[in-house]
Amino acid sequence: MLRSCATRLRTLGAPPAKQPGAVWRLFSSEKVIHKDYGLPNPSWSKDLRLLFDQFMKKCEDGSWKRLPSYRQNPVQTFKEFQTRFVDPGSVTKEEQMSKAQQFSRSLEEGLGFEYVMFYNKGEKRMVCLFQGGLHLQGVPGFVHGGAIATMIDITTGMCALAEGVAMTANLNIDYKKPIPLCSVVVVNSKLSKTEGRKLFISCDIQSIDEKTLYTSATALFIKLDPDKRLT
Ligand SMILES: CC/C=C\C/C=C\C/C=C\CCCCCCCC(=O)SCCNC(=O)CCNC(=O)[C@H](O)C(C)(C)COP(=O)(O)OP(=O)(O)OC[C@H]1O[C@@H](n2cnc3c(N)ncnc32)[C@H](O)[C@@H]1OP(=O)(O)O
């Protein structure tokens, strides 16, 4: 389903996957550099690089695909989303739209959310390799629960988006062990059931040696109905 996910995201205006660093002209007066954040940077630990390399190997036979990740979606993405699902009276102004950023990509490199996602279409599984930086602290030395929820929402969300444009309706999280800051963990999500527009997705977060289960969660996403306005 990844091809259709990628196709859908492109339909919504995301930059094509094969053009990291390409210059995208959104308005005649504005140029935005779209950097692909799902690639190694100097803040990535040895563990994260190692895991990244392992998953890139898995991509070679086509069973897994790495997802590119951008800080900003082109204005066209907003426009198409709003045209399809938002009441014309409540659409966001174009100037504001151009300044919007993906929340999880808006912090300084290495201090916030460092992650990369891989999708297995056959298994309907989305895996996220995540390193939580020092500015995600909750209890001293550990990642904030809200930051963990964010990563679960994004990972399950991307799993859901492979099926269509969907939003989180419900997220249940069991925090079993605290996640140390700067450690690398594996967020593993899978579409477990579909009922009409409802997508049920399970998710857990484990240490890289799989010995520690930090978090387990279930999420319900609802595919948006084009005949209903969100606002
Ligand atoms: C959306 C993305 C778009 C574009 C992507 C572009 C770029 C991608 C780049 C990065 C993406 C990163 C991933 C992002 C993932 C993050 C996702 C979010 O954070 S979404 C934000 C949080 N969620 C919301 O704000 C949603 C607020 N809720 C709603 O707007 C609505 O409730 C809804 C979810 C849209 C559902 O409303 P509908 O009117 O469409 O559905 P209903 O007729 O009410 O229900 C259908 C069906 O589902 C059952 N149901 C609904 N809600 C719940 C619930 N909370 N618990 C259990 N069941 C629920 C309902 O009972 C109906 O069931 P049925 O009668 O059996 O059919």
Task: Encode pLDDT of 100-153 as tens digits.
Answer: 899 999 999 999 999 999 999 999 999 999 999 999 999 999 999 999 999 999
Task: Encode pLDDT of 91-103 as tens digits.
Answer: 777 777 778 899 9
Task: Encode pLDDT of 187-199 as tens digits.
Answer: 999 999 999 999 9
Residue 215 Cβ contacting ligand 1 at under 6 Å: no
Task: Walk me through the domains of the chain, giving residue ranges and CATH numbers.
Answer: 41-166+176-188+204-223 (3.10.129.10)
pLDDT value, residue 28: 34
Token readout for 170 is 């419900």
Q: Is 15 left (phi over 0), alpha (psi -120 to 50) or beta?
A: beta
Residue 1 Cβ contacting ligand 1 at under 6 Å: no
Nearest to 65 by CA among 3, 157, 130, 158: 3
User: pLDDT tier at 32 (50, 70, 90 boundaries)?
Assistant: low
DSSP one-letter code for 37: S
Ligand 1 atom closest to residue 14's alpha carbon, by position in its atom list: 7
Nearest to 186 by CA among 137, 126, 103: 126
Its ipTM equals 0.96
pLDDT value, residue 27: 32
Residue 134 Cβ contacting ligand 1 at under 6 Å: no
CA of 230 to the centre of ligand 1 (A): 9
* Whole-angstrom distance, CA of residue 165 vs CA of residue 169: 13
